[in-house]
Structures are given as C-alpha cells and as structure tokens.
Chains A and B, each alone.
Chain A
Amino acid sequence: MSELIALKNISQKAADMVEEGRVHKALYSDPEIFEEELDKVFQNTWVFIGHESEVPEAGSFKTSFVGRHPVILSRDRKMNLHVLLNRCRHRGATVCEGRKGKTKAFTCPYHGWGYGLDGGLRAIPKAEEYEGVLDKNDLPLESLRHESYQGLVFATFKSDIEPLEDFLGGAKKWIDLFVKQGGGYPLKVLGEHRFNFPGNWKIQLENTTDAYHFPIIHKSFISSLDNATADIFDFLDGDGFVEDLGHGHSVMVMIPDLVDLEADLDQPIPERFEDLAQALRDEGQDEEQVKRLVRAAHGTGFNLNLFPNVSCSMAFFRVLRPVSVGVTEIQHVAIGGEGAPAPFNRKRMRLHEHFQGPMGFGTPDDGEAWERVQKGSMAGKDGWILVNRGMENLHTSPDGNVAGAVCSETGMRGAYQKYKQMMAAEGEK
C-alpha cells in the first residue's frame, strides 16, 4: 500500500512540474519520474516504430522498441504486418537479434522454440513432455496493436486507445505533405544514422521544435553552405511559424516556400542542385521531371513533431528512445524514393550525411548542447527550464490552432501540456 501511495505522489509531482511557460529541471534527472514516464507515456500511447518500406517483402523484419520493450516488426507471407514482443514464451530469451533482414521464422536459440512471422508458435522440440501441460495455440509471441498512416507504423500497449488517425488528427495534413519528398515515388528508407547522448529524452523532444537554436549552435554548418543556401537557412526573421496541432504534436514551418514540394515547380534550379539536375538530364529525364525531383530533393521546409518519439524533420525521420533518465538513443533515418532515379537518392543521402548523424556538420553540436543541458540541470536545488518564448505573440492558424512565431516555443508548450495530462492520470496498476 505504501508503495502505491508513493507512486501516486511522484506522478502528481511530475505533473506539477509542468507549468504553462516553464518546466522543472528535475524532469530531466529524477529516475523515479523516468520510470513513471515509461508507464504513463510510452506504454499508454501510439509509439512510432518504423516505416513500411523497411519491411518490403514477405519475410522481412526489423527490430525496434516501444519505450524499453524490444519488439519485432514483421511482414508475413500474406503481406500483413505484425508487431511482436521480442521474447520467447518459454524462458524469455529474445528470438530475434538482427537489426533487419529476411527470415522464415523466429527461432529461440536457447531451446529451439520456433515462431512464425505472425508470431504463432509453430515448433517445440521434444514436445511430448508438454502433453497435457500446454497448448501451442496459447503461446504465440505477444503481439501489440499497430496501425499505419502513409507508411509510418505505430504500435501501442494500450489496446483500447483511439484509432491512430484520430491520434494524429491535425498532423495528418502535414504527413501528407512530408511524403511528397519521394518526388512522385513512394517514400523509402535509405539507411539510418544512430547515436546516443548523455541526456534526457525530452531534451531531444524539445529540439525539433526549436528554430531559435539553429543559427547559433549550427553556425559552422551554415558557414559550409553556399550563400544562396545559407540565406534559406536564415529563417528566424522570415514568415515561418509554429503551430500546436493538439495531442502534443506540433509543426514548425521554417521555410514556407518548401511546405508543398509539388507546388511552384517552375522555380530555377539552385546552385547546390545543379549537379543533380545534370545527372538527371543525363539519364534522359525531361526538364519537368528534373525540376520536380530537384524540388523534392530539398526536403520539406518544416519539422512535424509527433509526441512522444518521432519527428518528420525536413528530410528525414528523427526517432528517439529513452534508455535511462540520463541516456537517450537517436536514429536519423534517411529517406528517398522507391524506384526513383539513382542520382536523386544519392543526392538525398549526401545531403543527409552533410548535416545528420554522428559525423554530420550539425548533430555533434546539437549533442554538445544537449549534454550541457543535462549537466546544467544538476546545478542548484531548484530551477526551471523556460519554454515561454513567444507566449504573448500568438495567433489562430487557418486550421484554428494556436500558433506563434517560427522561433517561439509553442510546440514545446504543446508537448509538455500533453505530457502533463498523461503524467497526472491515474496509473493502471
């Protein structure tokens, strides 16, 4: 009983640490709050686990996580997707250790229990000792509810949760715009960068709706660009905005000209895309298609933050995973077009390498700032993180949402209000 009371106090404590324009620094460093977040946030909502193009064929699989739970995303012979807990029903070993690949079955290495791509238990060695003890039909790999939108796959432990499309709500329009960067081809994952940083997951959550930091911390990246491109990234005084889309989601439009990649196709080819344009012409693409692909190659001019763990971030997916209160793993997933001309996908990957990943010109400086936020959060007995920027300069967007300036902290406030609501809820103990 005393344990239950203690847990309840913690949740109330965490919820109280979120005010409208500030959050308490203990949210980054209190291990009890972290455990509570895994229960109340990550096990209680839709969590992004991958893109359908990562499991393209019957027998394809990839491993992922929902919070701290290892899961497998698999495609069976009828092309149906499954999200399975990566744990043998016998003695609990993981049945799949690869990052991705193709297989006919998931076989536990310990005692050889074999599961189908749909999770069904197919084979038990020396089954006679189980006669009258267990029925194979009762012991499939546990499966999670999952749904997809535009190829983005989400899974959840909360079986009675609202449909994914309701959860995404106002974000769907922006996902529709985001997938246009396939250049007329279906979106396809081209590879990913993986890195970790010694800091809390919410520091990353905030970052993708933080335009304010860009020209400061990423000065060395901007210096590496040609003048025209550097001007595009000089967006703080432009017409961009941040819009709270509800459910903790938000969109930050940095470059309004690049919201719809299928509009304004008659614009001239920028200098940094001349090599791509020429390579496409050399392949025999007509000028209209060249312009379409060059525009798509830019990526979108916005970051769409989906609470709690993925951002459709300009030209890639940025996926976070909370490892512990002070460690977070991040994937930068590069995307291109399935069946698109090779020079297009190559250019997309070269642009990704330029900024993203552990060796990009951008990420290491972000990582440095986040590490310092975590370190700084240990200073002093009491202290607050400000997320009140632009709070008095809000307007209503055409879609009827609260919106602020591009460098406002409107998106962070939206995410923290959702967090507060989830943390304050009574746990299902």
Chain B
Amino acid sequence: MAINTDLLNKATAFIWHEADLLDHKEYQEWLSLWDKNGLYIVPTDNNETDYENTLNLALDDADMRRMRVARLESGESVSASSVSGTVRMVSRVRILEETADYVVVRCAMTLNELRHGNLVSYPADLEYRLKPTADGFLIARKVVKLMHADGFLRTVSFIF
C-alpha cells in the first residue's frame, strides 16, 4: 500500500509540536493551535461517538479550554502546583482519512506524570481532526481515549 509520507510527516510534526507545548506548559501557544469551533474531548466510554449527549471526563469548547488553562496557570489550584511535570511520547501515527477540509490522524500516546514523587502512566489513543490552513494545521477536534477511561483514575491537573 502507498503511504502519503509527506502528509504523515506534516501531521506528525504538528502533533509532536503540540505534545512539546503541553509538557512544557506553554498553554497560551497551545490555545492558538485550535480552530475556534474545535472540541477537546476525553470520553468516559471509548466506544461512544455522540460526545455531546454523553458524560465525558472533559468536553471543552474554546471557552472551557481557555478556563482550563487559566485554572492551571492561576496559581490558585493546589493540585496544579503539585504536578512536578509530564513527559509524553507520541508514536504509531497513521492517517485515517484525508479530505479537502480536514485530515483525520490516529496515534498512540504514553503520558507519564510525576506528582508527590509518584509516577503515574496514562496510555491512550489520540484521534485528531486537523484542518489545513495557509499557516499549517489547526485542531478541529482532539479525542483522548485513555486505556483506563472507565476505571478509577487519579485526578488530573494537566492537559492530555
């Protein structure tokens, strides 16, 4: 089978850039990667597709993303201050669909978090809907499918 390596490289470079921004808490720049109608979604049920009519761990429109970032940056949240850092690895990138309006990309992520000296690992599938623009991609949708989404998670004071 033929793989469009040019598109794969562009999408991978964009997703790696986003991952680096999040691990280094460059949240304002992260916000600028989004299409204004974009949705950041962390489902509780990875088989669900109707996110708006389902309870999610997070379903953030532009306002909620801005508020989520504000909370993490405010210094008012004791749990956010206790996160020593995150390191995420993103790989296994595959283009699932390409149209004139968007590209659907699926990849694997393992995020490691250090808090109070404890390492916690979050394996997940990421699904992006990326919108090509003259200046590169914008994120039209990002779905974070945690492997243990329906289990008992630890609390999360960072962004997947």
Contact = CB atoms under 8 A, between A and B. Distances in A.
Interface of A: 99, 190-197, 217, 219-221, 223-224, 329-330, 334, 342, 345-346, 349-350, 352-354, 357-359, 361, 363-365, 367-369, 371
Contact of B77 (A192, A220, A352): A220
Contacts of A350: 59
Nearest to A365: B79
A352 B78 contact: no
Nearest to A196: B152
A195 B152 contact: yes
Contacts, number: 94
A349 B155 contact: no
A364 B77 contact: yes
Interface in B52-108: 52-59, 64, 67-68, 70-71, 74, 76-80, 82
A383 B52 CA distance: 48
A349 B71 contact: no
Q: Which of B55, B57, B68 has the most chain A CB atoms inside 10 A of its CB?
A: B55
A192 B156 contact: no
Contacts of A352: 55
Contacts of B70: 223-224
Contacts of A353: 55-59
Contacts of A195: 152-155
A194 B59 contact: no
Nearest to A342: B53
Contact of B76 (A219, A329, A368, A371): A219
A358 B155 contact: yes
B157 A364 contact: yes
B19 interface: no
A346 B52 contact: yes
A359 B154 CA distance: 9
Contact of A223 (B45, B64, B71): B71
A365 B77 CA distance: 6
A367 B150 contact: no
B139 interface: no
Given A354-B64, A359-B156, A191 B79 contact: no
Given A359-B57, A364-B155, A368-B78, 14 more contacts: A99-B150, A192-B55, A195-B155, A219-B77, A224-B67, A329-B152, A345-B53, A346-B52, A353-B59, A358-B57, A358-B155, A365-B157, A368-B82, A371-B116
A34 to B, nearest CB: 18
Interface string B117-160: 00000000000000000000000000000000011111111000
A358 B58 CA distance: 9
B22 interface: no
18 contacts: A191-B44, A192-B55, A193-B55, A194-B151, A194-B153, A195-B154, A220-B80, A221-B71, A224-B67, A330-B152, A346-B52, A346-B53, A349-B53, A352-B55, A353-B57, A359-B57, A364-B157, A368-B79
B109 interface: no
A357 B64 CA distance: 15
B42 interface: yes
Contacts of A359: 42, 57-58, 155-156
